[in-house]
Chains A and B, each alone.
Chain A
């Protein structure tokens, strides 16, 4: 089956596509026999799986062999005592091994030197270990319980806890919590969320969102606060935003203030301004961002464009539906569509907002970075000061 949608059909079947993508695949199904047949097979397969017996009797009774291998149960005290004896014996043996040879021989001078060096190395490692331990202890952020019983590394905390680097904060369906991000902001964690503190360095404040939803308010310079997800990295450019991810790596970014950049190895970067949304997909990374007031037709067509670059009909819909406020969407679309579609996107952009002096058609179509930035400054992707922070 050679259809652009084949990679999304199983996600459609599993019900893990975002609404716009779901609608796009549904629309596609009406026109594609191969996809309809594939979907029918998946439905039949699910029916057969549900008919599989939960149990299968083994061909012989396995109990006698299992019973022969079962150790008698020990009490906790007995287990502890056995462990202690083994540990004590083991430790004694290793110490004896270390010094045994010396008892039967005279000790050469360099051997004492070697032992001294060894002792010094142990001391250095121990001091280093203590220093590292203290540093790690400091690398933590306070967490306040807002509702329910959030947990840090599977342990409930009272009204306030401390999230260490490497630890997970998890909320169930009735819990909420708020993390203080060092001195630079706060992140509120919604119910059903799992998040880990990755780094708490001065210039790199980093969380990893495995699933769920967070609301971040950051008042630091750009590129100091990051949220890793399975499909993209959200880079704070001084802002307030909501980020939501599911277990499948699909997600959604909604920016309320400032800007957020979404970076991914799987696709081009997106810069999402205030009042805009961006979908995140496991195979593609960040989608093309769009205004929260964009029409439903534009959103659906945009999902088509993100899923398959050669969708001429979808590009036409996006261009006809785009308003002035959607110019930043077209700016992102320029280098996501098939190169043959690029001039059409450029022409529509010029109808909506005329390019400033120094920006030419040829330059934009060739991807001249300076011209792209000049134009972006004009239609609300902010002043280019923040983009100098980006490794474009």
Chain B
């Protein structure tokens, strides 16, 4: 019942936001910003860029709200949009710089904990941040976000086999990093 109420609540918020109600959209922002930021941060491994992209995702969502017809859950629509916005930016950046980005600030994963316990999720977040960009992106999309290789391949503009190879590479590298 609570879930149903929550679904009705988000539908009503979305309808109000579609009609131009900023207060409703602000509420949508507060309810989803953590999830969107997590997606951006895990793919980009850079806190500043993740914040920029989170902003870009919500601006884009506002622009595209009219196209949301309720065929899927709004949250799914928003998180897919987040992935698209981040990947489009990555591709554009790659074209501009033509070099691989490596994170420079692993403290973004500390989240206020004093000393992370070995084997904790903090270790995993830090290890993921050290992966090469494409391997990390595929790992986040496949193992965390639940995308299929076919979807990832289409999003990244690569062959399905490449997506799979990058996933295998990411897992192998994670083992090396975590067992170091």
Q: Does B82 contact A (CB under 8 A)?
A: no
Contact with B along A233-257 (1 / 0, CB 8 A): 0000000000000011100000000
How far, in whole Å, are A48 and B123 apart by their CA atoms in the complex?
Answer: 10
Could you tell me if B121 and A65 are in contact, using CB atoms closer than 8 angstroms? Answer: no
Could you tell me if B143 and A55 are in contact, using CB atoms closer than 8 angstroms? Answer: no
**Residue in A42, A53, A59, A70 whose CB lies within 8 Å of B59:** A70
Could you tell me if B161 and A282 are in contact, using CB atoms closer than 8 angstroms? Answer: yes
How far, in whole Å, are A335 and B174 apart by their CA atoms in the complex?
Answer: 38
B contact residues around A42 at 8 Å (CB):
171
Closest chain B residue to A13, Cβ basis: B171
Could you tell me if A10 and B171 are in contact, using CB atoms closer than 8 angstroms? Answer: yes
Could you tell me if A52 and B121 are in contact, using CB atoms closer than 8 angstroms? Answer: yes
Contact with B along A32-73 (1 / 0, CB 8 A): 000000100110111011011111111110110111011111
Q: Does A336 contact B (CB under 8 A)?
A: no
Q: Does A207 contact B (CB under 8 A)?
A: no
**Residue in B34, B124, B150, B161 whose CB lies within 8 Å of A57:** B34
A contact residues around B121 at 8 Å (CB):
48, 51-53
Known: A70-B59, A282-B161, A282-B164. A54 touches B35 (CB 8 A): yes
How far, in whole Å, are A44 and B124 apart by their CA atoms in the complex?
Answer: 11
- Listed by A's residue number, 19 A-B pairs whose Cβ atoms lie within 8 Å are A45-B174, A52-B121, A56-B34, A57-B33, A57-B34, A58-B50, A62-B33, A62-B51, A62-B54, A63-B30, A63-B33, A66-B29, A70-B59, A70-B62, A72-B20, A230-B160, A247-B149, A247-B150, A282-B164
Could you tell me if A63 and B34 are in contact, using CB atoms closer than 8 angstroms? Answer: no
Could you tell me if B168 and A10 are in contact, using CB atoms closer than 8 angstroms? Answer: yes
Q: Does B22 contact A (CB under 8 A)?
A: yes
Contact with A along B136-161 (1 / 0, CB 8 A): 00000001100011100000000011
Q: Does B92 contact A (CB under 8 A)?
A: no
Interface size class of B (residues with CB under 8 A): 35 or more
A contact residues around B35 at 8 Å (CB):
54-55
Which of A70, A247, A249 is most buried by chain B, counting CB atoms within 10 A of its CB?
Answer: A70
Q: Does A210 contact B (CB under 8 A)?
A: yes
How far, in whole Å, are A52 and B143 apart by their CA atoms in the complex?
Answer: 11
Could you tell me if A60 and B51 are in contact, using CB atoms closer than 8 angstroms? Answer: yes
How far, in whole Å, are A65 and B53 apart by their CA atoms in the complex?
Answer: 12
Could you tell me if A66 and B58 are in contact, using CB atoms closer than 8 angstroms? Answer: yes
Could you tell me if A247 and B143 are in contact, using CB atoms closer than 8 angstroms? Answer: no
Closest chain A residue to B143, Cβ basis: A49
A contact residues around B26 at 8 Å (CB):
63, 67
A residues near B (Cβ < 8 Å) are 7, 10, 38, 41-42, 44-46, 48-49, 51-60, 62-63, 65-67, 69-73, 76, 210-211, 230, 247-249, 282-283
- A-B contact sample (5 more), CB < 8 A, given A52-B121, A247-B160: A59-B51, A62-B33, A70-B59, A248-B149, A282-B161
**Residue in B18, B19, B59, B174 whose CB lies within 8 Å of A69:** B59
How far, in whole Å, are A7 and B150 apart by their CA atoms in the complex?
Answer: 19
Known: A55-B38, A62-B55. A70 touches B22 (CB 8 A): yes
Q: Does B63 contact A (CB under 8 A)?
A: yes
A contact residues around B43 at 8 Å (CB):
none
Q: Does B69 contact A (CB under 8 A)?
A: no
Q: Does B167 contact A (CB under 8 A)?
A: yes
Could you tell me if B59 and A48 are in contact, using CB atoms closer than 8 angstroms? Answer: no
How far, in whole Å, are A55 and B144 apart by their CA atoms in the complex?
Answer: 12
How far, in whole Å, are A356 and B25 apart by their CA atoms in the complex?
Answer: 80
Q: Does B47 contact A (CB under 8 A)?
A: yes
Could you tell me if B111 and A56 are in contact, using CB atoms closer than 8 angstroms? Answer: yes
